[in-house]
DNA sequence: GAAGATTGAAGCCTCAATCTTT
DNA sequence: AAAGATTGAGGCTTCAATCTTC
């Protein structure tokens, strides 16, 4: 039975805060997913194309994609299977380490990105960045960064950090 | 091929902002999911138990759960199937409208909530609310509420709404 | 006809096991 | 032994169709 202590916990403002975060994020994802679907992409597929497009030489290892996304290595295999079937990416063997598979964005993959991006950014502007003042937005991003660094300390590397060692990149 | 316009779009700060929001939210969910799993609950199952626990009479219609969560009506049927098999909820026919199935939290369901909640709130404090100052937190929640109301205008009722007045939120 | 709910089929993801390479 | 990647099995969710009740 729910006693007083539990009643307090049920109504705890911190739980509501998490609910708010998840509803905002989930709702935004749903809006963005609708536009991506118009271009034949699932959100996770778009994320992978985007990360490849943002990477030097437009390529990443399977493992990098696993670390940067929320997918397991198995999950990355399946998604890349689909993307490769659709000719949006290709697997490329690494010559210096034959365990490694590089995933490379194809011209078709780049075209798809170019196709999707304008509308994508437009929706973000409408449903997120355009709703808040510059100071508000900046404050929220600063807070989110603090949270992100704490809950996902390993994923701090963004588009700027070279995940692949230089020598391996050159040797591909 | 990626021309200059697309290059700019790929590096657009607004896309990065969405990425930050999703990484923070996803990372937090992962942390919370680990504790919920210790108590035999998936995140969506916990969410449903929580929404039932927060509702008058500890019950909701299947349709209400569908509107308040990210699940389709079909998805709600499956989750409630599992919860009912585990005796955490029971379906109860509505006497005035026989199309309606109420989902009612059982004593076992309440016990499970009581079991999970303290550790759950503790994790939220560690990975979200405790990381930010009162003003920072309040600002982020205000921004998130603006976004939530825009991307999910229909879900303005339920656990997502501040059950607690805002001044009390700030004064947590 | 519309609303509430369920079902079968299919797609997506994870877990554990496996294989290859280092 | 460890790292990178894949595979089979199983669970979860959605879509479309269906059923019942209003």
Q: Would you call A118 and B9 a contact, using CB atoms and an 8 Å cutoff?
A: yes
Where are the strands (E) in A19-169, listed by range? 59-61, 89-93, 101-105
Which nucleotides in chain D lie less than 7 Å from some protein C-beta? 3-8, 12-17, 20-22
B52 in the Ramachandran plot: left (φ > 0), alpha (ψ -120 to 50) or beta? alpha
Positive or negative CA dihedral for B9, B21, B159, A133? negative
- CA-nearest of A121, A102, A101, A100 to A46 is A121
Answer yes or no: is pLDDT of B5 > 90: no
Q: What are phi and psi of B86, to 5 degrees?
A: -85, 5
Answer yes or no: is pLDDT of B160 > 90: no
Q: Which residue of A has its CA nearest to B50?
A: A10
What is the predicted pLDDT for the residue at B153? 76
What is the predicted pLDDT for the residue at A171? 40
B161 Cβ within 7 A of any nucleic strand C atom: no
Residue linked to tokens 């309606």: B100
Identify from B8, B16, B17, B172 which residue to disrupt to test chain A contact, counting A C-beta atoms within 10 A and taking the largest count: B17
Distances (CA, A) of A152 to A85, B25, B36, B46: 31, 10, 18, 22
How many A/B residue pairs have CB atoms within 8 Å?
211
- CA-nearest of A28, A82, A88 to A52 is A88
**What are the residue ranges of helices labelled H in chain B?**
4-10, 13-38, 43-53, 62-68, 73-85, 107-127, 134-151, 166-170
User: Tens of pLDDT along B30-40?
Assistant: 999 999 999 99
Answer yes or no: is pLDDT of A4 > 50: yes
Which residues 4-43 on B are within 7 A of strand D at the CB atom?
A: 42
Average pLDDT over residues A31-49: 97
pLDDT band at A155 (very low <50, low <70, confident <90, very high): low
CB A140 within 8 A of CB A132: yes
- CA-nearest of B111, B99, B166 to B137 is B166
Q: Would you call B53 and A10 a contact, using CB atoms and an 8 Å cutoff?
A: yes
In 10 A of CB A42, how many CB atoms? 14
Would you call B168 an interface residue with chain A, using a CB distance cutoff of 8 Å? yes
| Nearest-angstrom CA–CA distance, B65 and B71 | 8
In chain A, the percentage of residues whose pLDDT exceeds 90 is 83
């Amino acid at each position: 039975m729910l006693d007083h202590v539990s009643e307090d916990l049920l109504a705890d403002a911190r739980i509501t805060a998490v609910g708010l975060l998840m509803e905002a994020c989930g709702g935004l994802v749903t809006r963005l997913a609708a536009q991506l679907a118009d271009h034949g992409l699932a959100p996770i597929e778009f994320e992978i194309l985007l990360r490849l497009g943002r990477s030097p030489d437009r390529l990443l290892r399977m493992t990098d994609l696993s670390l940067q996304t929320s997918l397991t290595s198995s999950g990355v295999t399946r998604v890349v299977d689909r993307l490769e079937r659709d000719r949006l990416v290709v697997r490329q063997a690494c010559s210096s380490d034959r365990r490694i598979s590089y995933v490379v964005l194809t011209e078709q993959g780049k075209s798809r990105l170019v196709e999707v991006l304008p509308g994508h950014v437009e929706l973000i502007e409408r449903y997120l960045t355009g709703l808040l003042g510059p100071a508000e937005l900046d404050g929220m991003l600063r807070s989110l960064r603090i949270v992100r660094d704490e809950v996902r300390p390993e994923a701090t590397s963004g588009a700027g950090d070279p995940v692949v060692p230089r020598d391996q990149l050159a040797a591909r």
